[in-house]
Chains A and B, each alone.
Chain A
Amino acid sequence: MYKISSTAKDREIEVLADKSPTWLAELRRDAWQRAETLEAPSRKDEYWRYTDLDLLNPESFQRLEHGGSTAPLKRLPQRASSALELSGTGSGGKIIHADGALFSAGLSEEAAAKGVIFTDLETAVTEHEELIRPRLGKLVGAADIFTARNLALHRGGAFLYVPPGVELSAPMQSLHWLGMQGTLIQPRTVVVVGRGAKVVFNDIYTSAPLARASLVNPVTELYAAEDSQVGWVTWQDWGEGVRHLSTVKATMAANARLNTMLVTLGGEFSRTWKECELAGEGAQSVMLGLYFAHRKQHFEHWTVQDHLAPHTRSDLLYKGALDDQARTVYYGTIKVRPDANNTDAYQANRNLALSGSARANTNPQLEIENNDVRCSHGATVGRVDEEHLYYLMSRGIGRADARKLLIFGFFNEVLGRAQWSGMHELLSESILRKLAAEK
């Protein structure tokens, strides 16, 4: 599968390599070679057994030679600007891409004065080589054909650097908008948070509905230094027709705190790989996830909580609702390495099936190589409780409204733990929109 005409592929990698600084050109070419030699994934592979790989064939999509849009966006659409409110009002900086090309970039005076760097990746690789070169491609390299292709052919994406000790109150925001049909975009984002620094990052993906599918294959690498505190919200609310295949990997040094919240709502296919490496003693990670799939949406959430150092703690809760003929997969692994004494690792995945024909798979895995751990994992797939429904209805609330209350109640356990003020409203709107689409 995935046959590519050699002229087209060579031309693309060469165009990109030519535009890159030497070190990156080399990285790109190596990754391309690797991508060439890697075997295409198949459903026999445990990691791809739920995925319709035909949906992800890069050759079905037209690549953008210059990373540009054919009809440049003039103004940010409403759906995108409202998504920027998910952390409440205020922004420390915004990098906005439309169809893979930079649309706008801005940094608040406060952040600039504190030495924060927030640019598009193309600018960063030439202007901040010393910061980015040791890190780009180091956390997410060329492990599989998709990440290898991203490393070779990435265009767009953001670079954030927060110097040691700097605390930012307003979130730094990266938004990807998509208006083009049948295209492929592969942004790469690198975030470096210095020792003792504090920041919230919003990673937002949204678009209008597309009649012909586009594929988005983003990669994100996050470095959280000692004692840093990072809040991380990923908001995926693509319009219909978008296929999303994302890889995020974070590495945390000693006593770093990472609070992440992943929201998946949109697209026809969405697969996220989110890996958190607790590499330094005392690192603590909270990983929250929330998804709502309807119609024929197919969502996969893959997570890894990788404990390498002693006294580390990770706590994961993913909750999702699924309606109509939707399909969701959760596959989560807790790894406790031999050196990770005194580890706390928790993982829970809860699913609420709203229709008889929706299907949820949930697959928690443990790989424990140390005896000194406290570890728990649990997974459930349930339905709306008829007794709950009856109780609410006995107080005059109509069936449809009672059901909504219960669905929001289900999500509130996650939302209550995520301290982002604008998210409730934004999420309510999206969920209500989905429920309203019901037959």
Chain B
Amino acid sequence: MSKPILVLENLHAAVEGTEILRGVNLELPPGEVHALMGPNGSGKSTLANVLMGHPAYEVTAGRILFKGEDVTELEADRRSRLGMFLAFQYPVEVPGVSMLNFLRQSLNARRDQDLKPREFRTLVDGKLKLLGMDKAFARRNLNEGFSGGEKKRNEVLQLALLEPELAILDETDSGLDIDALRIVSESVNSMRGPGIGFLVITHYMRILDYLEPDVVHIMLGGRIVKSGGPELAGELEAKGYDSVRKQYGEPAPQEEATAP
């Protein structure tokens, strides 16, 4: 097996002094799609942001290896330039910053070269077309006034443009209707290949019907408690998270009881 693209070793992380990740271990070889599932509050989004280097999260123990390099202490921009990408669950609206200006700067940073304006436009237009998005999309300000679905598509657009080696999709499926979900899944599938690994974080099974993960991890209480093949997702769908909780002894927080 080739060298893993991502290795998490006993990763602990806290936000404002509260520990949320309590020893995450994971190995993701290139070319594979791993699904990370778990109930709300299990630490999935925290893990995504810790991987990307959110300044509010503090790694208290363990480390993150990307392509064998320890990136635990790097700032988000360095991680991105190395080839890590996070499609955010809730992308922020950045008023007044034009999409084109933003995309150009991030592409130039990722490629470490200045693209010619024409090359850049051709590239952007091509990806927009691939994602079934209108050209006018790129003339707007970054996520400003975007619908939930548009924001998610914009994340996938950036994913397609930046061509990372590790793509973390944080609930990219939530808030998308079936058609949008299909388009997004198809474009993710088209990016699959030996040079990229995917970590797909999701609360639902739905997107996994399209993405067909190689490995499914179940997260509970800030740890990965169970990993297995795609059949694990089906099992989870049949029995629900409660059975996992019973098995691993994690008490169900109140707000999770009503989660859809």
Contacts and interface: CB of A to CB of B under 8 A. Distances in A.
Interface string B107-119: 0011000000000
A388 interface: yes
A385 B102 CA distance: 16
B97 A408 contact: yes
B95 interface: yes
Interface of B: 52-56, 75-77, 79-81, 85-86, 88, 91-92, 94-98, 101-102, 105-106, 109-110, 141-142, 158, 162
B55 A386 contact: yes
Interface string A395-408: 11111011001101
Contacts of B162: 395-396
A413 B105 contact: no
B24 to A, nearest CB: 20
Contacts of A395: 77, 80, 102, 105-106, 109-110, 158, 162
Grouping DSSP codes into helix (H, G, I), strand (E, B) and loop, the B interface class, with mixed when no group exceeds half, is mixed
A411 B97 CA distance: 10
Contact of A396 (B81, B91, B95, B101): B81
Contacts of B56: 386
A399 B78 CA distance: 10
Contact of A398 (B77, B96, B97): B77
Contacts of B86: 394
Sort chain A's interface into a size bin: 20 to 34
A408 B76 CA distance: 21
Interface in A382-438: 385-388, 390-399, 401-402, 405-406, 408-413, 416
B77 A409 contact: no
Given A395-B162, A396-B77, A409 B96 contact: yes
B52 A394 contact: yes
Contact of B92 (A391, A396, A399): A391
Contacts of A401: 105, 109
Contacts of B88: 391, 394
Contact of B101 (A387, A399, A405): A405
Contacts of B98: 412
Contacts of A390: 54-55, 76
Contacts of A396: 77, 80-81, 106, 109-110, 162
A408 to B, nearest CB: 7
B77 A394 contact: yes
24 contacts: A387-B92, A391-B88, A392-B94, A392-B106, A394-B52, A394-B53, A394-B85, A394-B86, A395-B77, A395-B158, A396-B80, A396-B106, A397-B102, A397-B106, A405-B97, A405-B102, A406-B97, A408-B96, A408-B97, A409-B142, A410-B95, A412-B96, A412-B98, A413-B95
Contact of A394 (B80, B97, B101, B141): B80
B77 A399 contact: yes
A274 to B, nearest CB: 24
Interface string A75-90: 0000000000000000
A391 B91 contact: yes
B155 to A, nearest CB: 10
Contacts of B97: 392, 405-406, 408-409, 412
B95 A409 contact: yes
